């Protein structure tokens, strides 16, 4: 909770542990970066005139490390930046790439914007939902795939397209989608 303990402020934040509305105490964060990662955090913070600018890069690092950005992770990251957890929560909830719940081992994000829509994106989404047995926004029971339908990924020349983890997959057909799914373990 070092993020709340400011000395420059007019008042000091309450020193008692935060409680939820039922008055239950929130456990101290159990997530933590390795020493090497903390070094990377400091390096990233040093790249900018204001270390807060490293918040997005550090949240990316946190998501890679912890799988998703839990409230615990937000609290932990807030401490690394001397921010309040609310300030980190604002950022995490603003951007679409931060997962706030466990995600599948693979994330399949189908573009549903205009060019892909014109090229049949709704059918691709329907196909994926059928094959995976889940709706958009859900994760397969085996934790293999999280399916998303997203705004323009800016590869409209290859519509319909989708992003599978870090890769863009172009010119989708149901057959191609099946082949891609087979490659996801």
Partner 1 sequence: MTAEKILTRNFERADSHTLTAYLETGGYTAWQKAQTLPPAAITEEVKQSNLRGLGGAGFPTGTKWSFIPKNHTGPVYLVINADEGEPGTFKDRYLLERDPHALIEGMLIAARAIRSATGFVYVRGEYVEPYRRFSTAVSEAYDAGYLGKGFDVVVHRGAGAYICGEETGLISSLEGKKGWPKLKPPFPAIKGAFGAPTIVNNVETICHVPHIITRGAGWFASLGTKTQGGTRMYSVSGRVRRPGVYEASVAITLRRLIDELADGVTGNGRLKAVVPGGASAAILRADEIDVTMDVDGLRNAGTMAGSAGVIVMDETVSIPEALMVVARFYAHESCGQCTPCRESTGWIYKMVRRIVEGRGRKDDLDTILDVARRGAGTTICAFYDGAVGPYISYIEKFRGEFEALIDGAGARVVATPASRAATAHA
Partner 2 sequence: MPKLTINGHAVEVPPGTNLIEAARRVGVEIPHYCYHPGLSIAGQCRLCMVDIEKTPRPTIACNTLAAEGMVVATETDRVKETRKSIMEFHLINHPLDCPVCDQAGECWLQIYYMEHGLYDPRMRDEKVHKPKAVPLGPHVMLDAERCILCSRCVRFCDEVTRTGELGIFDRGDHSEIGLFPGTELANKYSGNVVDICPVGALTDRDFRFAVRVWYLDSAKSVCPGCARGCNIEVHVNRRRPHHNEGRRVARLKPRFNADVNRWWICDAGRYGFAFVDDKTRLVAPARREDGAVGDATWEEAIGAVAGALRRFAPDEIGVFASPKMANEDLWALRRVLEAPGIRRVAFRVPPREPGDADTLLIRSDKNPNSHGAALLGLDGDGAAILAAARARQVKCLWVFGHDLLAGAWPEAETDAALRALPLLIFTGTNANATSERAHWVLPAAAWVEREGTYTNFEGRVQRFRQAVEPLGQALPEWDILGRVLRALGVEVGATRAERWFRELAAAVPAFAGLTYQAIGDTGAVLSAPTAGHPRSEPASRTPLQ
- Site residues (CB under 8 A) for partner 1? 47-50, 52-57, 59-60, 81, 90-91, 94-98, 109, 112-115, 117-124, 126-127, 151-160, 163, 166-168, 171-174
Q: Cβ distance 95 to 57 under 8 Å?
A: no
Binding mask 68-107 for partner 2 (x = CB under 8 A): ---x--xx-------xxxxxxxx--xx-------------
Dihedral, CA atoms, 64, 94, 146, 56, nearest 10 degrees? -10
Count the residues in the chain. Answer: 185
Between residues 73 and 121, which has the closer beta carbon with respect to partner 1?
A: 121
Q: Which CB sits closer to partner 2, 97 or 126?
A: 97
Helix (H, G, I), strand (E, B) or coil at 26: coil
145: left (phi over 0), alpha (psi -120 to 50) or beta: beta
Q: Which is nearer to partner 2, 5 or 178 (CB)?
A: 5
Q: Is 13 in the site for partner 2 (CB under 8 A)?
A: yes
Calculate the CA 45 to chain-centre distance: 20
Residue 12 binding partner per list partner 1, partner 2, none, with a CB distance cut-off of 5 to 8 Å that depends on partner kind: partner 2
């Amino acid at each position: 909770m070092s993020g709340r303990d400011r000395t420059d402020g007019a008042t000091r934040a309450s020193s008692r542990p935060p409680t939820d509305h039922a008055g239950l105490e929130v456990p101290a964060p159990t997530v933590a970066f390795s020493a090497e990662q903390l070094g990377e955090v400091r390096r990233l913070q040093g790249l900018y005139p204001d270390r807060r600018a490293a918040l997005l890069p550090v949240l990316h690092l946190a998501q890679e490390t912890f799988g998703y950005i839990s409230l615990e992770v937000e609290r932990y990251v807030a401490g690394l930046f001397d921010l309040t957890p609310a300030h980190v929560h604002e950022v995490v909830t603003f951007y679409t790439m931060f997962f706030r719940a466990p995600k599948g081992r693979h994330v399949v994000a189908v573009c549903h914007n205009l060019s892909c829509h014109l090229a049949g994106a709704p059918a691709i989404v329907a196909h994926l939902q059928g094959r995976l047995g889940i709706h958009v926004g859900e994760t397969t029971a085996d934790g293999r795939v999280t399916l998303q339908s997203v705004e323009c990924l800016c590869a409209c020349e290859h519509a319909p397209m989708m992003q599978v983890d870090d890769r863009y997959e172009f010119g989708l057909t149901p057959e191609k989608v099946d082949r891609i799914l087979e490659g996801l373990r």
